[in-house]
Structure 1
Amino acid sequence: MSSTTLVTGGTGLLGSQVVPLLRDAGQTVRTLSRHHRQPVEGVQHAAVDLLATHDVDHALDRVRIVLHLAGGPKGDDVSTGNLVRAARRAGTVEHLILISVIGADAVPIGYFARKAQAERIVATSGISHTILRAAQFHDLALRTVRAMARLPVLLAPTGVRWQPVASAEVASRLAELTLGNPTGRVTDLAGPHTYTLEELQRSYLATVGKRRIRLPIHVPGKLGRAYRSGANLAAEASAGIETWEQFLAARTTPR
């Protein structure tokens, strides 16, 4: 009986890049997302909402490896718990891979806290697992600075630094981990350079030919202290290759 690799969130930004890599490596791949999708050659699909408890079991039929990429602003801990319980019931899952975020257990934001809880659920699941923490993608950095630049006055939180990384490089690393043996928590993956938010904003504005009055703001409380201490950064991490500047030049059009 053939086995299947299940990729949750397989139609998202990251999943859509990982799935072809696994398929080309000879894996039988099944993607899982909340909505029905048109069939893709060589890839099965299951429409399942992991925040609910129904219809999860059939998606795990004959599944040996689970790559858990599905996530969002809310509910990562709930969806991960539902997935783990279904994987236990299936009894065939030998390797569970989770994507998380650098600083999950150190940055006092709900999204990070839920990622940290998802890590704990996987680590205590009794299923052999691998956990990769990655920095924010270039795509998120672009969406963030683009949205901020829509205002006539550019709010500029001070003390905030990012290590944006190419999503394609994270996808490649996840494919490698999925095809390998369970290794627990692996080395974090970040971009090749660290930038202040001001630097990300300035380079975006210069690339698209915009000018904005900047208004520096102090990030207060625990969140501000976390960012200023670099809690969201990886002191020791594997470094990607594509820089923010290269990504920006390829995806923006000067005016």
Structure 2
Amino acid sequence: MDVLVTGGTGQLGRALVPVLQAAGHQVRQMSRRGTGPGGVRGDLATGRDLAEAAGGAELVVHAASDPRGDPWQVDVAGTRRLVQALDRARLQHLVYVSIVGVDRVPYGYYRAKFAAEQVLLASGLPVTLARITQFHTFVDEMLATARRGPVLPVPMSWQAAPVDVAEAADFLAEVAGRPATGDVVEFGGPEVLTAADLARAWAAAREPGVHVVATPLPGRLSAAFREGGVLPGPRAERGRRTYAEHLRA
């Protein structure tokens, strides 16, 4: 099929595009600059070039996001602009890349992702909402940022099920090849670990000598992470590569 991947130059997009190409699809990867092989320009924040980028797409994997900027403008309003730009007569499936827990965790970015899901469900398009847990590399970045010299403070009892980005790309390619569900599918890592578990494994592999300190944090956000708000449900599909295997690589 003629496939458009939004956020095609991001970490997930770079892993996903070759998987879709290997499945025989003709893939365009959309970004604001339109760089790289098969790159097309399209700006979700302004709508610029969206109609040209989306024109003719039979399958869309919507992976673009702006967690560090304005997700309400890019993820929510941008998703609405994308819906308006698509050719409904040609589109067979739109897979939206979301996050496990967006409907449970009281965090601004998650609320924006959940709102974008509602835009798609109300659009009348054939959609599947693919919620995925945090990538291993994201955990690496968060721990490196949290480190304070020889000390690595982490929230006490927070739980996560991080997943390998390549396995997430394989999952999305499989979902894209199925009929649209009009509902949520979930994908997570093979094991549930606490923030302290992750931090100790990361420190042992990357920063030996760093001391991990688990600190209790108050508030609704912390309670959601302690209570498993970002863990996939019992029907979720699971990856195989553990965080320890990621660190060894």
Give the TM-score of the pair, scaled to structure 2. 0.92
Distance apart, 1:152 and its partner CA: 3.4
Q: Name the CA shift for 1:55/1:209 in 2 (closer, same or farther; >3 Å).
A: closer
Match of 2:120, SS state, is: helix
Distance apart, 1:180 and its partner CA: 2.2
Large movers: runs of 4+ above 6 Å:
none
Q: 1:187-238 CA deviation, whole Å, 9 max, x = no partner?
A: 3111111111011111111112522344432222111221121111123121
Q: Which residue is 1:247 aligned to?
A: 246
Q: Which residue is 1:170 aligned to?
A: 168
Question: Would the aligned equivalents of 1:159 and 1:224 in 2 still touch at CA under 8 Å?
Answer: no
1:82 aligned onto 2:78: no
Q: Name the CA shift for 1:243/1:215 in 2 (closer, same or farther; >3 Å).
A: closer
In 1, the alpha carbon distance for the partners of 2:62 and 2:220 equals 30
Residue of 205, 225, 243 corresponding to 1:227: 225
The within-5 A match list for 1:1-255 is: 4-38=2-36, 40=37, 44-73=38-67, 74-75=70-71, 76-87=75-86, 91-236=89-234, 237-250=236-249
In 2, the alpha carbon distance for the partners of 1:208 and 1:214 equals 13
Q: Which residue is 1:253 aligned to?
A: none
Distance apart, 1:91 and its partner CA: 4.2
Distance apart, 1:61 and its partner CA: 1.7
Give the letter for the 1:59 counterpart: A
Match of 2:222, SS state, is: helix
In 1, the alpha carbon distance for the partners of 2:207 and 2:27 equals 43
In 2, the alpha carbon distance for the partners of 1:203 and 1:13 equals 23
Distance apart, 1:85 and its partner CA: 1.7
- For the aligned residue pairs, the C-alpha RMSD in angstroms reads 1.6
- Unpaired runs of 5+ residues, structure 2, are none
Give the letter for the 1:192 counterpart: P
Give the letter for the 1:167 counterpart: V
Distance apart, 1:9 and its partner CA: 0.8
Q: 1:67-126 CA deviation, whole Å, 9 max, x = no partner?
A: 1001121321122111112126x6432211101100001101111111111111111111
Q: 1:123-150 CA deviation, whole Å, 9 max, x = no partner?
A: 1111011111110011101111122235
Give the TM-score of the pair, scaled to structure 1. 0.89
In 1, the alpha carbon distance for the partners of 2:171 and 2:34 equals 27
Paired positions, count: 243
In 2, the alpha carbon distance for the partners of 1:47 and 1:129 equals 23
Q: Name the CA shift for 1:242/1:215 in 2 (closer, same or farther; >3 Å).
A: closer
Match of 2:48, SS state, is: coil
Distance apart, 1:14 and its partner CA: 0.9
In 2, the alpha carbon distance for the partners of 1:169 and 1:208 equals 23
Question: Would the aligned equivalents of 2:20 and 2:173 in 1 still touch at CA under 8 Å?
Answer: yes
Q: 1:15-48 CA deviation, whole Å, 9 max, x = no partner?
A: 111111111222111110111314x2xxx32112
Give the letter for the 1:245 counterpart: A
